[in-house]
Structure 1
Amino acid sequence: MKTLEDIFQNLNGTKVIDSTIDYKNYVAFDLSAEHTDQLDLDLTDAKMFEEFVENHLSKNNAKVAFGGYLEHRNLYKRSTNFNDQNTEERNIHIGLDLWIKAGTSVLSVLEGKIHSFQNNTLLGDYGPTIILEHEIEGFTFYTLYGHLSLESLENKRVGQLVKKGEKIAELGKPPINGDYAPHLHFQIIKNIQNKNGDYPGVCSLKEVDFYKENCPDPNLLLKIK
């Protein structure tokens, strides 16, 4: 029986940020706890973190840094949003991040419609967020675009149709974007679970099997080499 992942595998790769930037100008970016623990880097300081990203891009002669699916990170320790004393720590990233300057265009990965949008304002959260709904070969699924600018939510309405590759937003600056160095959090979601304008982008170790199934690797769609 064909799965949604099978369908993604057979689609041509598509971009979710500035379509003029070729994938040859992308570079992998390791933010795993194992790696960042070795660095003298204050992950809680958005400005220092942005400089770290820019240095990584410059060193690799690249324009976009990407990665992070199922990555175990220490990036979230600063926020009680991920470290409630009554629950297991959430530190496994279940989307794909694309790091580039604020103001960069964000594009719809496929044809679809706006499912929901809102500004998620907790420290370390998504900030302004848009979720699109898509249908393909009988499957309904969703894509989430987080860490946007406030202006990206203006003149949006639920049910609004979007075309593949259409500009739907721009990347936001800290602290509006959850107080991170500018980047896009892009995530595929099979079952939205009645959520609107928000969906977990980080999970705990005991939840990872569920979220790995419900939120497949975004690079199945993007096909970044």
Structure 2
Amino acid sequence: MSSKAFSQILAHLNQQSLYVLDPSLSKSDYVKLDLSIHNKTLEQVDVSTSETLGTYVNNHIKTHNAKVAYGGYLETRNIYKRSTYFNDTNPEAERNIHLGLDLWIAAETPIYAPLDGEVHSFKNNTNFGDYGPTILLKHYVDDIVFYTLYGHLSIASIQNLRVGQSIEQGQQIATLGDASVNGDYPPHLHFQIINDLQDYKGDYPGVCAMLDLEFYSENCWDPNLLLGL
């Protein structure tokens, strides 16, 4: 199914009720954040450390009188160069294009299911720069099956889950982890929508290479179709 078809399906839903963070947050509490290679101010920031990047993100939020910074879908970033998990000897195979939406907010922030679903799988992905604790939910909307991924969570978020567990829309499913468990990033949620999960369990690529972009951009839909930020 194409992202356009998915967007048409979501048009039948009440978009105002779809959220992954505290629903009392208004859209004015969110500020867009550019972490792409085109943001020249990042040339003066050591993005290889969670502390320095975190300071940059938090200052951006404060400067705009916001509570959450968001962005990143199909954004080409340099922050993955620090990890061999994303690099390749072939420059065209370097994974640096972000496939989800990042929501930057404090550790221990509660995370909620935007739709009814069930727990598909969960896992602690411990590679340097990886998701850390991760949850995948399976959803059914108008007879269409798709998945949502929640990365960079706390360890506690995956300790009492079971595969197949029913999840209700608006139910708290997790809390955010800090840099010690989330792949060494400033606290944030990586939220991703996936059409075909390709037999992955507790994991799915959240960053791709340019040579794979056509496939992943069709398979991983823009999360803003759902959240409407």
Tell me, yes or no, whether TM beats 0.5: yes
Which residue number corresponds to residue 144 of structure 1?
Answer: 149
Cα distance, 1:53 vs structure 2:
1.0
Which residue number corresponds to residue 30 of structure 1?
Answer: 34
Letter in 2 for 1:144: L
Letter in 1 for 2:24: T
Rounded Cα–Cα distance in structure 1 between residues aligned with 2:11 and 2:62: 32
Runs of 4+ in 1 over 6 A off after TM superposition: none
CA offsets per residue over residues 31-60 of structure 1, 9 Å max, x none?
001215653111111111111111001100
Q: Is the CA contact 1:5–1:216 (under 8 Å) kept in the aligned structure 2?
A: no
Which residue number corresponds to residue 102 of structure 1?
Answer: 107
Q: 1:145 to 1:90 in 2, by over 3 A?
A: same
Give aligned-pair identity as a percent: 53
1:1-225 to 2 correspondence within 5 Å? 3-13=5-15, 14-35=18-39, 38-85=42-89, 88-224=93-229
Question: How does the TM-score come out when normalised to structure 2?
Answer: 0.94
Rounded Cα–Cα distance in structure 1 between residues aligned with 2:216 and 2:89: 22
Rounded Cα–Cα distance in structure 2 between residues aligned with 1:66 and 1:170: 17
Question: How does the TM-score come out when normalised to structure 1?
Answer: 0.96
Rounded Cα–Cα distance in structure 2 between residues aligned with 1:12 and 1:110: 11
**Between structures 1 and 2, the one with greater helix share:** 2
Question: Unpaired segments of 5 or more residues in structure 2?
Answer: none
Q: Is the CA contact 1:9–1:221 (under 8 Å) kept in the aligned structure 2?
A: no
Rounded Cα–Cα distance in structure 2 between residues aligned with 1:9 and 1:65: 25
Rounded Cα–Cα distance in structure 2 between residues aligned with 1:34 and 1:21: 29
Q: Secondary structure at the match of 1:152?
A: helix
CA offsets per residue over residues 67-87 of structure 1, 9 Å max, x none?
000001001000111103267
Rounded Cα–Cα distance in structure 2 between residues aligned with 1:123 and 1:74: 15
Q: Is the CA contact 1:69–1:96 (under 8 Å) kept in the aligned structure 2?
A: yes
Question: Unpaired segments of 5 or more residues in structure 1?
Answer: none
Letter in 2 for 1:65: A
Rounded Cα–Cα distance in structure 2 between residues aligned with 1:63 and 1:12: 24
Q: Secondary structure at the match of 1:48?
A: helix
Number of matched residues?
Answer: 224
Cα distance, 1:22 vs structure 2:
1.4
